[in-house]
Structure 1
Amino acid sequence: MIITGDDSEYIAFVKARLRDQFLMTDLGPLRYFLGIEVSSTSDGFYISQEKYIQDLLARAALGDERTVETPMELNVKLQPTDGDPLPDPTRYRHLVGSLVYLAVTRPDISYLVHILSQFVSAPTTVHYSHLLRVLRYLRGTITRRLLFPRSSSLQLQCYSDATWASDPSDRRSLSAYCVFLGGSLIAWKTKKQTSVSRSSVDVELRAMALLTAEVTWLRWLLEDFGVSITTPTLVLSDITCAISVARDPVKHELTNHIGVDAF
């Protein structure tokens, strides 16, 4: 259990009440929780999964010490029929499942994990080779961390993108977004769209709709935590340029203002 807040006396009170009801041990300041490492510095909080990656590489038992600069080659489009079926897919499924949890602190592999997880039912030798490439990438970037600065603005800034008909098997597109609160990355996702789009504009609008729903939920969540977001949320996309999303406090509706300056 993680207990957090800005009132140390009340935190101590909560822990005392919990200790009265349950058998518990106070582990002190947060440093390690469910495979996630947390370090506190004067700049802010860093979270990482370096030890988790080390354990994952040990379980993978790679036969060399090579590293790669990117987790996947450019313009690669995997299909279910690529390569020969693996005689035992258990290892592939185990490693991909571990990568899913690793994406909690490594947004740079989110897209690859989404792609590789589509083949867990019937993985092939080609899929497995791309999985090993991701592991070699992680070996070379094992020290990367996410920073949550101590001082930061409370403006939400979001980025949206999509790939049109990127899946060669069903021609469906991918939506992707990331959301920053000031300088802190707080949400990201890669998701296959549910229907086939006829144009790249349609794909981008669907991606923007997914992001808008996430932004609305985040603003409500932050308000529940007592964080008031009074500034408009800046949403950037490679096709719609800049969109300022603000919620009407009376009607609880979103108003979109489309910019005309490309970035």
Structure 2
Amino acid sequence: MIITGSDYSTIEEVKHQLFQEFEMKDLGFLRYFLGIEVATSPTGYLLSQTKYARDILSRANLTDEKIVDTPLELHAKFSASDGVPLEDPTLYRELVGCLVYLTVTRPDISYAVHILSQFVSATRSTHWAALLRTLRYLRGTLLQCLLLSASSDLTLRAYADADWAGDISDRKSTSGLCVFLGDSLISWKSKKQSVVARSTAEAEYRAMAYATSEIVWLRWLLSDMGVSLSDPTPLYCDNQSAVQIAHNSVFHERTKHVEIDCHFVRQHLQAGSITLPFVPSSLQLADFFTKTHTVARFRFLLGKLSMLSALASSV
């Protein structure tokens, strides 16, 4: 059990009561939990899975020492028919499963893992090559950690984006979202949309609806923890058409097929749970979770996600 807070006398009282009821030990300050390493610094808490990542690389048994700058090649697209089938996909499935858990503290590999996960049931040589590239990126970034800032204010802001028709197999779009509490990244997702979007605006709007759902849940969670959010949460979108659809009270033929999402987003817009400020595509942080990027763009976006190297944090 993990007990946190700033009222140390109450913490000691709770611990004493627990000791009376259960056989347990006080292990001191949190350092390691379910494969997640926790370190403290003047700037806040640093979450990492360095040991777990090393175990993944050890299981993969890579035969070279190469490292790469990004998890996937630029403009990489994969389908279920590329390459030749693997004779035994067991290791691929095991490694992808491990990488899924690694994304708990590594948003930088979320998009790559989202892609790799789609081929666990029918794995081919191209998918294996993509997995090896992700592992080589991991090898070069073992000390990457997620910072939960000690000085952040308790306000939410979110970003939602979509890569329209990006999947070459079924032309479904990929939604990306990330949510910050102050300066700290606390939620992120890369997810293929369930239906084919017929326009960029539709794809963006579905991503917006998904992000709205996440915001509503986080606002409820924070309220349950005693954090009252009186101001609406800004949800940044880089598509003017999607923003205008949310503000337009009249449905027409162009929005009929996404009417449920329209009602959902507009309900929370009118209730004051969210606002929909426009953000230029160059500053759309959720873009990180929808597609591959150049090295420069990847590093720029990564630098905005409150991630840093454990070496840098100790300097």
Structure 1 residues 210, 197: CA separation in 2 closer, same or farther (over 3 Å shift)? same
Q: What are the equivalent positions in structure 2 for 1:116-131 lying under 5 Å apart?
A: 116-131=116-131
Question: Identity percentage over the alignment?
Answer: 55
- Asked if the contact 1:174–1:190 (Cα under 8 Å) also holds between the matched residues in 2, the reply is yes
Question: 1:192 Cα shift?
Answer: 1.1
- Asked if the contact 1:153–1:181 (Cα under 8 Å) also holds between the matched residues in 2, the reply is yes
1:167 corresponds to 2:185: no
Where does structure 1 differ by over 4 angstroms across 4 or more consecutive aligned residues? 241-245, 254-263
Between 230-239 and 214-223, the greater mean CA deviation after superposition: 230-239
State the match for 1:53 in structure 2: 53
State the match for 1:214 in structure 2: 214
State the match for 2:84 in structure 1: 84
Question: 1:252 Cα shift?
Answer: 9.2
1:151 corresponds to 2:128: no
State the match for 1:141 in structure 2: 141
- Asked if the contact 2:235–2:276 (Cα under 8 Å) also holds between the matched residues in 1, the reply is no
More strand by percentage: 1
Q: Could you tell me how far apart the structure 2 residues matched to 1:16 and 1:77 are? A: 56
Q: Could you tell me how far apart the structure 1 residues matched to 2:226 and 2:109 are? A: 32
Structure 1 residues 193, 21: CA separation in 2 closer, same or farther (over 3 Å shift)? same
Q: Could you tell me how far apart the structure 2 residues matched to 1:260 and 1:176 are? A: 16
CA RMSD across the alignment: 2.3
Between 11-20 and 46-55, the greater mean CA deviation after superposition: 11-20
More helix by percentage: 2
Q: Could you tell me how far apart the structure 2 residues matched to 1:150 and 1:256 are? A: 25
Per the normalisation by structure 2, the TM-score is 0.77
SS state at 1:168 partner: coil
Per the normalisation by structure 1, the TM-score is 0.92
Q: Could you tell me how far apart the structure 1 residues matched to 2:96 and 2:141 are? A: 18
Question: 1:240 Cα shift?
Answer: 3.5
Question: 1:253 Cα shift?
Answer: 3.0
Question: 1:104 Cα shift?
Answer: 0.2
What CA deviation, in whole Å up to 9, does each residue of 1:43-94 have, x standing for no partner?
Answer: 1111011111111111111001110001001111100111111111110000
Q: Could you tell me how far apart the structure 1 residues matched to 2:241 and 2:150 are? A: 30
Number of aligned residue pairs:
259
State the match for 1:253 in structure 2: 271
> Could you tell me which amino acid in structure 2 is paired with residue 253 of structure 1?
A
- Asked if the contact 2:237–2:276 (Cα under 8 Å) also holds between the matched residues in 1, the reply is no
Q: Could you tell me how far apart the structure 2 residues matched to 1:96 and 1:261 are? A: 33
